[in-house]
């Protein structure tokens, strides 16, 4: 659904809150703050709601969290009345759902679409934020809430000659809104992350030839998608509140298939290990990584899981050389595990070719294709499935200036620093939803988003009730939090690979492990801070 820009602002005085972004986070934030009686406006660069699900329309785009979990829990009526059609929802259905929510809770009237925030500056004298947009708006607001998403700035690599390409180019994260017909086309896909792994089988089914340019092989386990199991759905809906409550207590806030284990892989015999992994492989989904309790912290245990997946790849892919190239040699789960439907099978199609660009690096893009060091590939279309400047990219593209002229770019020069992933020292009354330093991308995002939104709403209401001008993280509490986030990460295998969690996919980006590993303990930490009267913050 495309919305027209609403020239909402003219003659409006200072608002209580500006929310940047009308994705899942921004919409719920708007709803909560309105319920709390605040004047709120959402600014959204797209022409519709949905955030991630508005932009990522590539063929095969689908959620990797099950539908009954990947949905808002704040309204019992909403979760009862909405019916999902598949175990894992596709992008169009999720976008329909988000539009439904926006209509059902009358949220569209609070959103100005087609409006990109360019600058936000904190005015210390008046204790408010001054926000400038590309539409010429200048808005003042007491609170600034960044609901800009973790994966919302596309990463398009600077490959020489890119502009010279005569065919069409696409990025999975900013896919056109019209149907793309790849039939009869020679398509190249650069990248083999979650987006590529979903898109490749669909593009291959249509195109004349598909060349996949792989830099790093990736682990993927089967999603085992299918129509939703109606009996299971009825069971969940009969006690949805309990289901949500249980999931919120799980690591990563994932419930249905992520039954954890109290056992180390090393305590099981090789036969038991194989049986356990096979069981979870057949069920499909992220539950694979819950097979043992030490897969993310013990390399030896992790090796067993990794080898199990490599075996499945070798079993599936007929050509031994291609199978070998598709077998990752890193820690499984260290980069985001992918879920797929027929990804590895696709390489058995005669018109699908895998190019190992570590062996034969891309040198340049030419008008008619891609030139690697040793081979030239003639192409009609190039799909960049090259990911995102994750977690900080969108925030840093907006010129945000806090107290004493401090810019977020300067504050985060050596990597993002936050208190609780929610606030930044020097930036009073600014909140981040699922910011760096919070569990966000390591959880079911909607659970984390709801937790952040509800925390922020209570905090903002507290400030207004106490008639404070502002809240700001204390230096010591922020330093302590950053240290805590790093310490937890250092005890796991996560820092061992070049993932976007560490900023390693973007040349020049500081290598800092950005998310907080530790859901649901994190939630308790936020609650403690709150119940202690917002310890670690100062009010003025
Ligand atoms: O991006 P990615 P994504 N030259 O960064 C390669 C979520 N998501 O859009 O690994 C050549 O994972 C890069 O290679 P390497 C999910 O959280 C969820 O796929 O850096 N190649 C990699 O192969 C996911 O993790 C869902 O060596 C280059 C690929 O491009 C996140 O979004 C679906 C390159 C990028 O992979 C991002 O996924 C989709 C270069 N210069 C996404 N630069 C679901 O819910 C990068 N690459 C299922």
Reading the chain (540 residues) residue by residue, the pLDDT tens digits are: 666 544 455 446 799 999 999 999 999 999 999 999 999 999 999 999 999 999 999 999 999 999 999 999 999 999 999 999 999 999 999 999 999 999 999 999 999 999 999 999 999 999 999 999 999 999 999 999 999 999 999 999 999 999 999 999 999 999 999 999 999 999 999 999 999 999 999 999 999 999 999 999 999 999 999 999 999 999 999 999 999 999 999 989 988 656 778 899 999 999 999 999 999 999 999 999 999 999 999 999 999 999 999 999 999 999 999 999 999 999 999 999 999 999 999 999 999 999 999 999 999 999 999 999 999 999 999 999 999 999 999 999 999 999 999 999 999 999 999 999 999 999 999 999 999 999 999 999 999 999 999 999 999 999 999 999 999 999 999 999 999 999 999 999 999 999 999 999 999 999 999 999 999 999 999 999 999 999 999 999
Residue 194 CB partners (closer than 8 Å, separation 6+): 64, 336, 338, 339
Tokens of 197: 């792994």
Ligand 1 atom closest to the Cα of residue 158 is 41
Dihedral through CA 181, CA 187, CA 188, CA 192, nearest 10?
50
Q: Is the CB of 215 under 6 A from ligand 1?
A: yes
Name which of 434, 433, 417 is nearest 425 in CA terms. 417
Q: How many Å lie between the centroid of ligand 1 and the Cα of residue 191? A: 6
CA atoms within 13 A on the CB side of 319: 14
Is residue 83 within 8 Å of residue 13, measured between CB atoms? no
Q: Is the CB of 195 under 6 A from ligand 1?
A: yes
Between CA 292 and CA 277 the distance in angstroms is 9
Ligand 1 atom closest to the Cα of residue 197 is 19
Q: Looking only at Cα atoms, what is the longest distance across the chain?
A: 71
CA 345 to chain centre: 26
Q: How many Å lie between the centroid of ligand 1 and the Cα of residue 114? A: 27
Q: Is the CB of 151 under 6 A from ligand 1?
A: yes
Q: How many Å lie between the centroid of ligand 1 and the Cα of residue 167? A: 23
Ligand 1 atom closest to the Cα of residue 61 is 33
Tokens of 215: 């830099």
Q: Is the CB of 196 under 6 A from ligand 1?
A: yes
Can you give the pTM of this predicted structure?
A: 0.97
Q: Is the CB of 200 under 6 A from ligand 1?
A: no
User: Whose structure tokens read 């100062």?
Assistant: 538
Tokens of 95: 């976008």
Q: How many Å lie between the centroid of ligand 1 and the Cα of residue 496? A: 17
CA atoms within 13 A on the CB side of 438: 30
């Amino acid at each position: 659904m495309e919305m027209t820009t609403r020239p909402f602002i003219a003659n409006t005085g200072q608002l209580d809150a500006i929310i940047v972004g009308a994705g899942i986070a921004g919409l719920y934030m708007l709803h909560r703050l309105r319920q709390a009686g605040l004047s709120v406006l959402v600014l959204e660069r797209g022409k519709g709601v949905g955030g991630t699900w508005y932009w990522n329309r590539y063929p095969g785009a689908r959620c990797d969290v099950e539908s009954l979990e990947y949905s808002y829990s704040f309204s019992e009526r909403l979760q009862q009345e909405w019916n999902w059609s598949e175990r894992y929802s596709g992008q169009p259905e999720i976008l329909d759902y988000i539009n439904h929510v926006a209509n059902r809770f009358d949220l569209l009237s609070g959103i100005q679409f087609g409006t990109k925030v360019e600058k936000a500056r904190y005015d210390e004298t008046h204790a408010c934020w001054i926000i400038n947009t590309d539409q010429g708006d200048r808005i003042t607001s007491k609170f600034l809430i960044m609901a800009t998403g973790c994966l919302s700035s596309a990463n398009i690599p600077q490959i020489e000659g890119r502009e010279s390409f005569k065919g069409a180019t696409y990025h999975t994260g900013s896919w056109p809104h019209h149907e793309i017909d790849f039939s009869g086309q020679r398509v190249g896909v650069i990248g083999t992350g979650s987006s590529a792994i979903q898109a490749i089988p669909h593009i291959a089914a249509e195109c004349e030839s598909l060349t996949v340019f792989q830099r790093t092989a990736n682990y993927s386990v089967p999603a085992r998608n299918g129509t939703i199991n109606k009996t299971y759905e009825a069971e969940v809906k009969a006690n949805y509140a309990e289901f949500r409550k249980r999931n919120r207590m799980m690591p990563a806030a994932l419930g249905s298939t992520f039954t954890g284990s109290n056992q180390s892989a090393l305590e099981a015999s090789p036969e038991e290990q194989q049986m356990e992994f096979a069981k979870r492989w057949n069920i499909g989904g992220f539950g694979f990584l819950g097979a043992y309790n030490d897969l993310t912290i013990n390399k030896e245990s992790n090796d067993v899981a990794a080898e199990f997946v490599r075996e499945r790849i070798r079993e599936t892919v007929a050509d031994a050389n291609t199978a070998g190239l598709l077998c990752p040699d890193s820690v499984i789960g260290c980069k985001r595990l992918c879920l797929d439907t027929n990804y590895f099978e696709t390489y058995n199609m005669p018109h699908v070719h895998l190019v190992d660009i570590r062996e034969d690096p891309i040198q340049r893009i030419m008008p008619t294709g891609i030139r690697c060091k040793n081979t030239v590939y003639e192409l009609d279309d190039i799909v960049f499935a090259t990911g995102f400047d994750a977690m900080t990219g969108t925030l840093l593209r907006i010129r945000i200036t806090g107290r004493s002229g401090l810019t977020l770019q300067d504050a985060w020069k050596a990597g993002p620093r936050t208190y609780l992933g929610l606030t930044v020292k020097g930036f009073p009354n600014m909140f981040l939803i699922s910011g760096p330093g919070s569990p966000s991308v390591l959880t079911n995002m909607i659970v984390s988003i709801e937790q952040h939104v509800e925390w922020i709403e209570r905090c903002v209401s507290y400030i207004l009730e106490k008639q404070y001008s502002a809240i700001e993280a204390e230096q010591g509490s922020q330093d302590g939090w950053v240290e805590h986030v790093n310490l937890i990460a250092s005890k796991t295998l996560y820092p061992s690979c070049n993932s976007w969690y560490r900023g390693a996919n973007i040349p020049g980006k500081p290598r800092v492990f950005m998310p907080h590993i530790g859901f649901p303990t994190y939630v308790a930490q936020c609650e403690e801070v709150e119940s202690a009267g917002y310890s670690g913050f100062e009010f003025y």
